[in-house]
Amino acid sequence: MNENVRLRRRQLLILASSCIVAVPLAGLAKTTTNDIHVVKNPQCGCCSAWIKILEAKGFSVTAEDRSGSLLTEFKIDSGIPSDLMSCHTAKIGGYFIEGHVPAKDIKRLVSELPDALGLAVPAMPYGSPGMGPEDEREAYDVLIVRSDGTTEVFQHYPKAGIQA
Protein backbone atom coordinates (compact mmCIF):
# COMPACT_ATOMS: atom_id res chain seq x y z
CA MET A 1 0.00 0.00 0.00
CA ASN A 2 2.85 2.35 0.77
CA GLU A 3 4.14 1.74 -2.78
CA ASN A 4 0.78 2.89 -4.22
CA VAL A 5 0.92 6.13 -2.24
CA ARG A 6 4.40 6.87 -3.60
CA LEU A 7 3.27 6.18 -7.12
CA ARG A 8 0.36 8.58 -6.75
CA ARG A 9 2.66 11.28 -5.40
CA ARG A 10 5.05 10.74 -8.29
CA GLN A 11 2.17 10.95 -10.77
CA LEU A 12 0.94 14.13 -9.10
CA LEU A 13 4.40 15.70 -9.32
CA ILE A 14 4.69 14.78 -12.99
CA LEU A 15 1.25 16.22 -13.70
CA ALA A 16 2.02 19.43 -11.81
CA SER A 17 5.34 19.95 -13.56
CA SER A 18 3.68 19.30 -16.92
CA CYS A 19 1.15 22.03 -16.19
CA ILE A 20 3.91 24.45 -15.24
CA VAL A 21 5.44 23.94 -18.68
CA ALA A 22 2.19 23.75 -20.68
CA VAL A 23 0.40 26.86 -19.41
CA PRO A 24 2.97 29.41 -20.64
CA LEU A 25 3.18 27.57 -23.97
CA ALA A 26 -0.59 27.82 -24.42
CA GLY A 27 -0.37 31.58 -23.99
CA LEU A 28 2.52 31.74 -26.41
CA ALA A 29 0.48 29.94 -29.07
CA LYS A 30 -2.09 32.73 -29.00
CA THR A 31 0.50 35.50 -29.21
CA THR A 32 2.43 34.10 -32.14
CA THR A 33 -0.51 33.41 -34.44
CA ASN A 34 -0.27 34.83 -37.91
CA ASP A 35 -3.57 33.38 -39.15
CA ILE A 36 -5.93 36.18 -40.08
CA HIS A 37 -9.38 35.96 -41.66
CA VAL A 38 -10.55 38.91 -43.77
CA VAL A 39 -14.17 39.64 -44.64
CA LYS A 40 -14.43 42.06 -47.54
CA ASN A 41 -16.51 43.36 -50.40
CA PRO A 42 -15.79 41.22 -53.50
CA GLN A 43 -15.39 44.29 -55.74
CA CYS A 44 -12.94 46.13 -53.49
CA GLY A 45 -9.44 46.47 -54.94
CA CYS A 46 -7.95 48.16 -51.89
CA CYS A 47 -9.02 45.21 -49.69
CA SER A 48 -7.18 42.83 -52.00
CA ALA A 49 -4.12 45.11 -51.95
CA TRP A 50 -4.17 45.10 -48.11
CA ILE A 51 -4.36 41.30 -48.09
CA LYS A 52 -1.30 41.08 -50.37
CA ILE A 53 0.62 43.39 -48.03
CA LEU A 54 -0.27 41.20 -45.03
CA GLU A 55 0.84 38.07 -46.89
CA ALA A 56 4.15 39.75 -47.76
CA LYS A 57 4.59 40.52 -44.04
CA GLY A 58 4.20 36.84 -43.08
CA PHE A 59 0.49 36.54 -42.33
CA SER A 60 -1.50 33.51 -43.45
CA VAL A 61 -4.65 35.11 -44.86
CA THR A 62 -8.03 33.60 -45.62
CA ALA A 63 -10.60 35.84 -47.28
CA GLU A 64 -14.36 35.78 -47.44
CA ASP A 65 -16.50 37.95 -49.70
CA ARG A 66 -19.66 39.57 -48.32
CA SER A 67 -21.56 42.47 -49.81
CA GLY A 68 -23.76 45.23 -48.43
CA SER A 69 -25.79 44.42 -45.35
CA LEU A 70 -24.05 41.05 -44.83
CA LEU A 71 -20.70 42.83 -44.47
CA THR A 72 -22.20 45.49 -42.20
CA GLU A 73 -23.84 42.80 -40.06
CA PHE A 74 -20.47 41.07 -39.64
CA LYS A 75 -18.90 44.37 -38.51
CA ILE A 76 -21.67 44.97 -35.97
CA ASP A 77 -21.45 41.39 -34.69
CA SER A 78 -17.68 41.86 -34.32
CA GLY A 79 -18.22 44.85 -32.00
CA ILE A 80 -17.00 47.58 -34.34
CA PRO A 81 -18.51 50.98 -33.50
CA SER A 82 -20.32 52.46 -36.50
CA ASP A 83 -18.14 55.59 -36.53
CA LEU A 84 -15.00 53.43 -36.92
CA MET A 85 -16.22 51.22 -39.79
CA SER A 86 -14.13 51.05 -42.92
CA CYS A 87 -14.07 48.81 -45.98
CA HIS A 88 -12.92 45.40 -44.65
CA THR A 89 -12.87 43.58 -41.33
CA ALA A 90 -10.43 40.92 -40.18
CA LYS A 91 -10.22 38.63 -37.16
CA ILE A 92 -7.01 37.47 -35.51
CA GLY A 93 -6.40 35.97 -32.07
CA GLY A 94 -9.83 37.02 -30.79
CA TYR A 95 -9.41 40.64 -31.96
CA PHE A 96 -11.00 42.51 -34.85
CA ILE A 97 -8.96 44.56 -37.30
CA GLU A 98 -11.02 47.19 -39.10
CA GLY A 99 -9.74 48.93 -42.21
CA HIS A 100 -6.23 49.58 -43.44
CA VAL A 101 -4.28 48.77 -40.26
CA PRO A 102 -0.53 48.29 -40.87
CA ALA A 103 0.86 44.77 -40.36
CA LYS A 104 3.29 45.89 -37.66
CA ASP A 105 0.41 47.21 -35.54
CA ILE A 106 -1.45 43.90 -35.88
CA LYS A 107 1.69 42.03 -34.81
CA ARG A 108 2.08 44.37 -31.83
CA LEU A 109 -1.56 43.80 -30.82
CA VAL A 110 -1.29 40.01 -30.80
CA SER A 111 2.03 40.08 -28.97
CA GLU A 112 0.95 42.54 -26.25
CA LEU A 113 -2.56 41.04 -25.80
CA PRO A 114 -4.23 44.17 -24.39
CA ASP A 115 -7.73 44.09 -22.90
CA ALA A 116 -9.35 45.25 -26.12
CA LEU A 117 -11.76 44.34 -28.88
CA GLY A 118 -9.43 45.31 -31.70
CA LEU A 119 -7.82 47.96 -33.89
CA ALA A 120 -9.40 50.32 -36.41
CA VAL A 121 -8.34 52.79 -39.05
CA PRO A 122 -11.56 54.69 -39.77
CA ALA A 123 -12.32 55.79 -43.32
CA MET A 124 -9.65 54.98 -45.88
CA PRO A 125 -6.67 57.33 -45.42
CA TYR A 126 -4.52 57.81 -48.48
CA GLY A 127 -1.13 56.16 -48.07
CA SER A 128 -2.28 53.63 -45.47
CA PRO A 129 -1.52 50.01 -46.47
CA GLY A 130 -3.41 49.25 -49.68
CA MET A 131 -4.47 52.86 -50.21
CA GLY A 132 -1.66 54.31 -52.29
CA PRO A 133 2.02 55.00 -51.84
CA GLU A 134 3.25 55.42 -48.29
CA ASP A 135 5.61 58.22 -49.33
CA GLU A 136 2.47 60.29 -50.17
CA ARG A 137 0.63 59.28 -46.98
CA GLU A 138 -1.78 61.61 -45.23
CA ALA A 139 -1.67 61.62 -41.43
CA TYR A 140 -3.84 59.01 -39.73
CA ASP A 141 -4.27 57.16 -36.46
CA VAL A 142 -4.67 53.48 -35.68
CA LEU A 143 -7.19 53.36 -32.85
CA ILE A 144 -7.48 50.66 -30.22
CA VAL A 145 -11.02 49.84 -29.14
CA ARG A 146 -10.91 48.82 -25.49
CA SER A 147 -13.20 46.16 -24.05
CA ASP A 148 -15.30 48.89 -22.42
CA GLY A 149 -15.88 50.53 -25.83
CA THR A 150 -13.55 53.48 -25.33
CA THR A 151 -10.92 54.28 -27.95
CA GLU A 152 -7.46 55.75 -27.88
CA VAL A 153 -4.60 56.17 -30.31
CA PHE A 154 -2.61 52.94 -30.60
CA GLN A 155 -0.22 54.31 -33.24
CA HIS A 156 -0.02 57.68 -35.01
CA TYR A 157 1.26 57.97 -38.58
CA PRO A 158 2.21 61.52 -39.52
CA LYS A 159 1.84 62.92 -43.01
CA ALA A 160 4.66 61.61 -45.23
CA GLY A 161 7.79 63.72 -45.01
CA ILE A 162 6.99 65.05 -41.54
CA GLN A 163 9.03 63.72 -38.63
CA ALA A 164 6.98 62.35 -35.74
pLDDT value for 76: 94
pLDDT value for 32: 53
pLDDT value for 161: 84
Q: CA-to-CA distance for 70 and 67, rounded, in angstroms?
A: 6
Sheet of 35-40, strand order: 60-65, 35-40, 89-92, 95-98, 116-120, 140-146, 151-157
CATH tag for 35-157 (out of 3.20.20.10, 3.40.30.10, 1.10.1200.10, 3.30.56.10) = 3.40.30.10
Residue 137 DSSP symbol: P
> Per residue of the chain (164 residues), what is the pLDDT tens digit?
555 555 455 554 444 444 444 444 444 444 457 999 999 999 888 999 999 999 999 999 999 999 899 999 999 999 999 999 998 999 999 999 999 999 999 999 999 999 999 999 999 999 999 999 999 999 999 999 999 999 999 999 999 987 65
Distances (CA, A) of 64 to 8, 36, 47, 92, 104: 51, 11, 11, 14, 23
Q: Domain locations in the chain?
A: 1-31, 35-157
